[in-house]
C-alpha cells in the first residue's frame, strides 16, 4: 500500500500589497507564530470544499468554489509527510477572527516586510507564489 499523509489547504488573501496573517494561539502547534488561514482536508472532502469550509470557519467569509485557484503546491516533510495547497481567492464580506481561542491576532502584513515569526514553510510558499513557482518541496 502507498503512502498516506495529511493534505492541507492554506488560504492566501491579498489586499493591495498585503497578505492576511493570523497568529496561532493555544493550539499546541507553532503557537506564537504567524500563518495564513489554513486547515486539513477532511475525509471525503475535496481541496476546494476544504478551502470554502476553512474560510468560513476561521475568518467568517463565504467563498464560491469557482473563485478558488491553486497557486502553489508544496510537498513537505515535517513531523510527517504532507501535501499543502496554497490558494488565492476573490471574496466578499468582512474578514473577522472566528476562532479567538486559536488565534490572537489577525492582521494584513506587507509582503515586503513580513513578521520574523512567520512559519518557515508558509514564508517559502508566499515567496514561491510571488515568483510564479507552482510546485516546491520543503524539509527534505
In the CATH scheme, what is the homologous superfamily, with its name and number, of domain 7-138?
A: Nucleoside Triphosphate Pyrophosphohydrolase (3.90.79.10)
Q: pLDDT at position 93, please? A: 82
Name the average pLDDT for the chain: 92
Q: Where are the domains of the chain?
A: 7-138
Q: pLDDT at position 22, please? A: 97
Nearest to 58 by CA among 92, 91, 95, 19: 95
Q: pLDDT at position 3, please? A: 59
Q: pLDDT at position 45, please? A: 95
Percentage with pLDDT > 70 across the chain: 98
Q: Check if the beta carbon of residue 81 is closer than 8 Å to that of residue 5.
A: yes
Map grid coordinates 486539513 to a residue: 40
Q: pLDDT at position 67, please? A: 84
Q: pLDDT at position 1, please? A: 52
33-77 pLDDT, tens per residue?
999 999 999 999 999 999 999 999 999 998 888 889 999 999 999
Reading the block at residue 47, the C-alpha cell is 481541496
Q: pLDDT at position 90, please? A: 81
Q: pLDDT at position 10, please? A: 96
Q: Give me the DSSP letters along the chain.
A: ------EEEEEE-EETTEEEEEEE-SSSSSTTSEE-SEEEPPTT--HHHHHHHHHHHHH-----GGG-EEEEEEEEESSSEEEEEEEE----S----S-TTTEEEEEEEETTS--TTB-HHHHHHHHHHHTT--EEEE--
Q: How far apart are CA 45 and CA 56, in angstroms?
A: 15
Sign of CA dihedral 66, 88, 125, 50: negative
Q: pLDDT at position 80, please? A: 83
Q: pLDDT at position 5, please? A: 79
- 2 — pLDDT class (breaks 50, 70, 90): low
Amino acid at each position: 500500500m502507498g503512502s498516506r499523509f495529511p493534505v492541507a489547504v492554506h488560504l492566501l488573501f491579498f489586499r493591495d500589497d498585503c497578505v492576511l496573517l493570523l497568529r496561532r494561539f493555544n493550539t499546541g502547534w507553532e503557537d506564537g507564530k504567524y500563518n495564513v488561514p489554513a486547515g486539513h482536508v477532511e475525509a471525503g472532502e475535496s481541496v476546494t470544499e476544504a478551502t470554502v469550509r476553512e474560510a468560513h470557519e476561521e475568518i467568517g467569509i463565504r467563498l464560491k468554489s469557482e473563485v478558488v485557484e491553486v497557486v502553489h503546491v508544496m510537498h513537505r516533510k515535517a513531523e510527517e509527510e504532507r501535501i499543502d495547497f496554497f490558494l488565492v481567492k476573490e471574496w466578499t464580506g468582512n474578514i473577522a477572527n472566528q476562532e479567538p481561542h486559536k488565534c490572537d491576532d489577525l492582521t494584513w502584513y506587507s509582503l515586503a516586510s513580513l513578521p520574523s515569526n512567520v512559519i518557515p514553510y508558509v514564508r517559502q510558499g508566499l515567496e514561491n507564489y510571488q515568483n510564479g513557482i507552482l510546485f516546491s518541496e520543503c524539509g527534505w
